[in-house]
Chains A and B, each alone.
Chain A
Amino acid sequence: GDSVTQMEGPVTLSEEAFLTINCTYTATGYPSLFWYVQYPGEGLQLLLKATKADDKGSNKGFEATYRKETTSFHLEKGSVQVSDSAVYFCALTEGGGTSYGKLTFGQGTILTVHP
């Protein structure tokens, strides 16, 4: 079945540091890929997504590129802020056919940014 693997956390960075959170996936078909973020006390919010190979999703300074050859969707940000402290989830959905949009999630990565 489908699966998503994220880098182990937690990740602790200083403000303005460069962020990378690795995500790799296994899928039988041609999935769409997502990054969701969960701020303390809130639900999951879509951060960015990509639906086909070589697409780059971007939002709020975060980027991730759909790499079919390496089955990866790594999240990056050039300069993190304290307000980026949250839990980040990589996810996929197969889409189409008999799929009704079931999301398969990675285990989540806790990011803490210090001033």
Chain B
Amino acid sequence: EPEVTQTPSHQVTQMGQEVILRCVPISNHLYFYWYRQILGQKVEFLVSFYNNEISEKSEIFDDQFSVERPDGSNFTLKIRSTKLEDSAMYFCASSRQGARETQYFGPGTRLLVL
């Protein structure tokens, strides 16, 4: 069964460094998402991406964040200058269509900013 994959599973970085989190969505899906979960808190929506552009983003997704689909398979989240409060689990998800369709999630990348 097709699945969403994410790399790396864990990343430790120093404050102020850039990180890139990678995701490979399910191949025939058209909508892509990033969510994050700070330890002990809710899963929060960051951004949705369709047709090679951002379709919706949350207040969390400020200028430090960017997303890209550099080729036909990868979907990346870049944090330009990490802060301590960026430490969280980051989940990628994809769906065939947007709106009410089921989103399929990857296993997540645990990011720790020191």
A interface, CB within 8 angstroms of B:
32, 34, 36, 41-46, 49, 51, 89, 91, 93, 95-96, 98-108
Within the complex, which residue of A36, A41, A100 is in contact with B99, where a contact is CB–CB below 8 Å? A100
B interface, CB within 8 angstroms of A:
4, 6, 31, 33, 35, 41-45, 48, 50, 55-56, 58, 91, 93, 95, 97-108
Q: Which residues of B are found within 8 Å of A104, using beta-carbon distances? A: 45
Output the least CB separation between A66 and chain B (Å).
Answer: 12
Q: Which residues of B are found within 8 Å of A100, using beta-carbon distances? A: 31, 48, 50, 55-56, 98-99
Q: Give A32 to B95 CA distance when docked, in angstroms.
A: 15
Per DSSP, are chain A's interface residues mostly helix, strand or loop, or mixed?
A: loop
Q: Is the CB of A99 within 8 A of B99?
A: yes
Known A49-B102, A101-B48; contact A107-B41, beta-carbon cutoff 8 A:
yes
